[in-house]
Chains A and B, each alone.
Chain A
């Protein structure tokens, strides 16, 4: 049994640690509060590292982690991890975005209720001996319209809860389909319409250059007079100055704020202590349940990754990978290797096709696998699925999705065409029910070759006696043939042979092969 070692460098929920204890193939060490020097010293013995936000996984740690394949962040933000350095080195970085959905949705509802009923100020007033009731008259959520900006996991959980409060729910999300919204009984609208219609606006989108200050002065101006704003997503989604002005004028009635542009907020942050604001110190994910789920999820993901069983929620892996994909990835990798070996010149372009229900949604996986195989042919750096696409781009290899390049007709098939200055070659492969890959087409040759082990690729004239002559030659050198697959263009034309060998033939064997008159070209690929 292959053992995998995992270092847990930050405090992790007990449920996650319990899970690790039961796994026989995992050695997990919990070392919390390591100094950087200590971490650098021990990291090279681990396959994976699990952190929260305290441990800084910088370029030095990445460089020192010679065996490191996975860094798992229990939580969402990966600011404490040098993702670029990890990617360059082929290390998968993953986080746990799902685990806090409910916690954040519930925090959102709490802020919404607190903002609409002045709960925070009312609480303070009682605590300081007052009993003023009339100034804290609030509004009801029932019958009002909630506008959700960003209809992802958290947005949908908020929508479900708001419906329970008898609110009308509209949502803005340019990446969500009408059908998804309809299934959730939510109406998709444009941003301007959402702002104009909503009594409460709640933000649930990611922060990006496009969404920074999504709620700025102009957007806030489009809100209904007396609307409520809730932000439990990211502080920079809202222009805090503009929101403070809108609150002061009464245009915005109240705001529930869990996140700030800088955290903790600067002393002069205009929202802090504002009477119209109820605020909390970024507590969205801070529930015992969410912390437990985060721990379990990060452990499950990291264990799957080191075992090679799948990669989920990676922030730097080019696709979501599950075990079903494995044979296709291996096939794509082999095709990349063979394409590189057969190419007479530097490959500068590669086109990828993925046909059929099993594979057509996985074009990026196929492309990544093919590129990794191709680059492994000439790069001495370690190439893997994490860094292959970026390395290919660095080496000037253009990649594109293609349609209809594969000429054979299988229900599920992948094809790749590589091009170099003055030529190109197309290759297609399939994975059978038994999960074994086969190469079924190389240029115009149709065959059924197993891309495994040592392969002698031979182009020869199609004439009697060639197989015997080559077989005898290999036999004389004690090289055993496991499989011999052959395709020819036409009778008396040329034939392409895929010969699986039990051991690699030496260069002298290849030289002798080249001297056989019927042999046009011969080369060896070791997969």
Chain B
């Protein structure tokens, strides 16, 4: 957690690592819901997803059940790449590009199937080595697998259960991912599993721009309720970052983010934290 500066000078830190959730955070879709739609099992799956994201049931209990219900083919899962890309949350690409411009390390940690999430992350400019998700297995001996040069529908054959298929697993994955790193870490996400990782990182930013979840809104130290990730840039970069941004797109995104803070679209659990950010940005002070 951030410590309030003991001195009278107002400061806002610059984060070295920013971890994003994927579904309903970087993209407006939930991958699993899109797979369900394709199979006409939308209602059943959405109900389970919502219950897990709202923290009513444990993800571990429903993770396998959802996939078993859908048994998506490898090709259907690959189709999610396009679905993610078509539904980018506003400013996701711009924020990531700006953070990379600053040398901030960007990660994507998702409970979704890793292959399309990684494709989407790379599309947004994230190093594929910084992406974590759930590995599905497919039956490569499906259909007429022996005919070369033809697109085969590889059937679903299970997934690798691990930390990300449990509700409380995200902290573990983030700890592993950042084990040898130094500097402050910010996590941005929409769900209960992200909120559970709040204590693992230095600042958790709840994102309600796609899906508003009451538990996350009230539990997150900072909560974005606008449908854009632009506020993540000033929150992660602080005034020190702003001074080093040069590309017009990055600066525009930064200003847009501040505008949303000013407009009250970013909620702070503690009022003085909001004031701290505003004052820091005004005075140009940063805590390095």
Contact = CB atoms under 8 A, between A and B. Distances in A.
B6 interface: no
A364 B145 contact: yes
Contacts of A399: 141, 145
B148 A314 contact: yes
A393 B144 contact: yes
B147 to A, nearest CB: 8
Contact of B123 (A174, A175, A178, A368): A178
B122 A368 contact: no
Nearest to A368: B146
Nearest to B128: A179
Given A316-B148, A318-B146, A364 B141 contact: yes
Interface string A340-352: 0000000000001
Interface stretch (B30-38, B78-86, B274-282): B78-86
A315 interface: yes
A188 interface: yes
Contacts of B122: 177-179, 182
Nearest to A402: B157
B140 interface: yes
Interface size class, chain B: 20 to 34
Contacts of A208: 151
Interface in A158-213: 174-175, 177-179, 182, 188, 190, 206, 208, 210
B190 interface: no
Contacts of A390: 144, 146
A483 interface: no
Contact of B146 (A178, A210, A389, A403): A389
A390 B146 CA distance: 7
Contacts of B144: 390, 393
Contacts of A188: 123
Given A174-B82, A178-B123, A188-B123, A401 B141 contact: yes
Contacts of A367: 141, 145
B141 A178 contact: no
Contacts, number: 61
A283 interface: no
B82 A315 contact: no
Interface in A237-285: none
Given A179-B128, A190-B82, A314-B148, A400 B141 contact: yes
Contacts of B85: 190
A509 interface: no
A390 B78 CA distance: 27
B286 to A, nearest CB: 32
A175 B79 CA distance: 10
Contacts of A177: 119, 122
Given A363-B140, A403-B157, A403-B158, A318 B145 contact: yes
B283 to A, nearest CB: 40
Interface residues of A, number: 29
| Most chain B beta-carbon neighbours within 10 Å: one of A206, A315, A400 | A400
Nearest to B149: A315
Given A178-B123, A179-B128, A318 B148 contact: yes
Nearest to B82: A190
Interface string B140-169: 111011111101000001100000000000
A521 B170 CA distance: 54
A363 B142 CA distance: 12
A400 B156 CA distance: 11
A498 interface: no
Interface string B225-247: 00000000000000000000000
A386 to B, nearest CB: 9
Interface in A309-332: 314-319
B287 to A, nearest CB: 35
B188 to A, nearest CB: 21
B78 A174 contact: yes
Interface string B108-144: 0000000000010011000010000000011111101
A285 B145 CA distance: 30
Nearest to B137: A403
A210 B153 CA distance: 14
**9 cross-chain pairs, A with B, having the tightest CB-CB distances, nearest first:** A389-B146, A318-B146, A178-B122, A401-B139, A399-B141, A401-B141, A363-B140, A401-B140, A178-B119
Interface of A: 174-175, 177-179, 182, 188, 190, 206, 208, 210, 314-319, 352, 363-364, 367-368, 389-390, 393, 399-401, 403
Given A175-B78, A210-B151, A318-B147, 11 more contacts: A177-B122, A178-B119, A190-B85, A314-B148, A319-B148, A352-B141, A367-B141, A367-B145, A401-B138, A401-B140, A401-B157
12 contacts: A174-B82, A178-B119, A179-B122, A179-B128, A316-B147, A318-B145, A352-B141, A363-B140, A364-B140, A389-B145, A389-B146, A401-B139
